[in-house]
Amino acid sequence: MRKISILAISVFLLIGCKQKSVIHPNFYYWRTDYQNKKDETAYLNQFKSKSLYVRIMDVDFNPDLQLPVPVSPIKFSDPLPKETDIIPVVFIVNEVFNKIDTIQTAVMADRIAKFVKAKVKQSGKPDYKELQIDCDWTKGTRNRYFKFLEQLKANPLLKGKSLSVTLRLHQVKNIVSSGVPPAEKAMLMCYNMGNLRKFGDQNSILDQHEMDTYLKDYLPQYPLPLDVALPLFEWAVVFRNGQYAGISKRISKAQIDDKRLFKQRGNSILYDLQVDYPAAGLKQGDVVRWEHVSTEDLLATSKFLSRYLAPRDRNLLFYHLDTDLLKHFTNENLQKVIANF
């Protein structure tokens, strides 16, 4: 009996040791001008973030030139902090891969590699260790997208560097049709998972039901090592006559709470505009869905993911580095989110 007890304890300890993993909290930087702001750098130091995932540019197809072109590339008004590594991120509009062939994807891969190298130098860094490609590929674009990734990996400028990709929930569940991208690892994007354009009081940023549907039965078997990205952002989704009209960047929580402007529908996240609001391009009768993420949302999401992710050292990213967003979350609460992994 004693031997059995000792054996059980030993197995328990062995399992506990295997499940231990180191989590590296880092941030995305998703603005078009990098400025080394004191408060934002303080957040990097507070979370001991060693890397900053910096959006370098978007890539979209230009119909006039009939070529994929850079859109809104970042500029560096200041260099990155000396102790912070840069991980460049390039967002590619999925439609690009419907417009070009594999010869053009090779050209695009070469141009991206050169563009990224130049931007990294502008950031004050001599080099980088990882390049991340952000693309919401589909069954119809996967072959050309995967070919592009292979061409990018083979580029001499990426020798000795790792290539990572972003991964949406539907690509986890529909792995047979979506395929597995040829990359070293993937960043599981745990936001923008609901139907943004559908009218209603659902939160399209973070939806626990959607995560359960798309991940619970599929995440443990996903073949690539996974990092995780969680949202910190908020936004105002505008509807006019029941139809999606866009996201307003001119509406903040202060305006939403102004009863002269908006009237809340019960306890929902829908708000009716009471007067014309030309400064934001809105008209009386427009409806704004104010979507945000709470600490409770992040804690529930991190607990859910910890049950299904394979235990390993991983990066946990918060989207994104912005003091106006981060002030809604205490250091203690974000540390609890990190600890759940």
C-beta separation of 298 from 230 below 8 A: yes
In three-state secondary structure terms, 302 is helix
Over residues 172-197, the mean pLDDT reads 96
Give the other-Cβ count within 10 Å of 2's Cβ. 6
pLDDT, one tens digit per residue, over 273-292 is 999 999 999 999 999 999 99
Q: How far apart are CA 3 and CA 137, in angstroms?
A: 54
DSSP state for residue 277 in the 8-state scheme: B
Can you spell out the DSSP letters for 69-82? EEES--EESSPPPT
Residue corresponding to tokens 């590339």: 73
* pLDDT value for 228: 98
Residue corresponding to tokens 């306890």: 267
Q: Is the pLDDT of residue 11 over 90?
A: no
Give the other-Cβ count within 10 Å of 217's Cβ. 12
C-beta separation of 273 from 261 below 8 A: yes
Q: How far apart are CA 129 and CA 131, in angstroms?
A: 7
Non-local CB neighbours of 303 within 8 Å, separated by 6+ positions: 340
* pLDDT value for 19: 57
Quick one: residue 228, left, alpha or beta (phi over 0 = left, psi -120 to 50 = alpha)? beta
Q: How far apart are CA 23 and CA 213, in angstroms?
A: 25
Q: How far apart are CA 197 and CA 263, in angstroms?
A: 21
Q: What is the pTM of this model?
A: 0.92
Phi, psi of 249 (to 5 degrees): -85, -5
Q: Across all residues in the chain, what is the average pLDDT?
A: 94
Q: How far apart are CA 115 and CA 110, in angstroms?
A: 9
The terminus-to-terminus CA distance of the chain in angstroms comes to 35
Q: Is the pLDDT of residue 1 over 50?
A: no
Res. 194 pLDDT band, cuts 50 70 90 = confident
Q: Is the pLDDT of residue 8 over 60?
A: no
Q: How far apart are CA 36 and CA 50, in angstroms?
A: 15
Res. 20 pLDDT band, cuts 50 70 90 = low
Return the minimum-mean-pLDDT range out of 3-7, 187-191, 196-200, 316-320: 3-7
Report the b/e string of 69-83 with b at 16+ CB within 10 A: ebeebbebeeebeee
Report the b/e string of 90-114 with b at 16+ CB within 10 A: bbbbeebbebbeeebbbebbeebbe
Non-local CB neighbours of 241 within 8 Å, separated by 6+ positions: none
Give the residue among 124, 137, 133 at the shortest CA–CA distance from 58: 133
Give the residue among 161, 107, 105 at the shortest CA–CA distance from 137: 105
Over residues 143-159, the mean pLDDT reads 98
* pLDDT value for 250: 94
Provide the percentage of residues in the chain whose pLDDT is more than 70: 94
E strands along 143-199, which residues?
162-167, 185-189
pLDDT, one tens digit per residue, over 220-236 is 999 999 999 999 999 99
Over residues 31-57, the mean pLDDT reads 97
Q: Is the pLDDT of residue 92 over 70?
A: yes
In three-state secondary structure terms, 262 is strand
Q: How far apart are CA 230 and CA 341, in angstroms?
A: 12
Does domain 22-233+296-339 sit in CATH 3.40.50.300? Answer: no
Q: Where in the chain is the domain with CATH 3.20.20.80?
A: 22-233+296-339
Can you spell out the DSSP letters for 91-123? EE-TTHHHH--HHHHHHHHHHHHHHHHHHHHHT
Pairing label, strands 162-167, 243-248? unpaired
Q: Is the pLDDT of residue 16 over 50?
A: no
pLDDT, one tens digit per residue, over 50-78 is 999 999 999 999 999 999 999 999 999 99
Over residues 96-113, the mean pLDDT reads 98
Q: Is the pLDDT of residue 18 over 80?
A: no
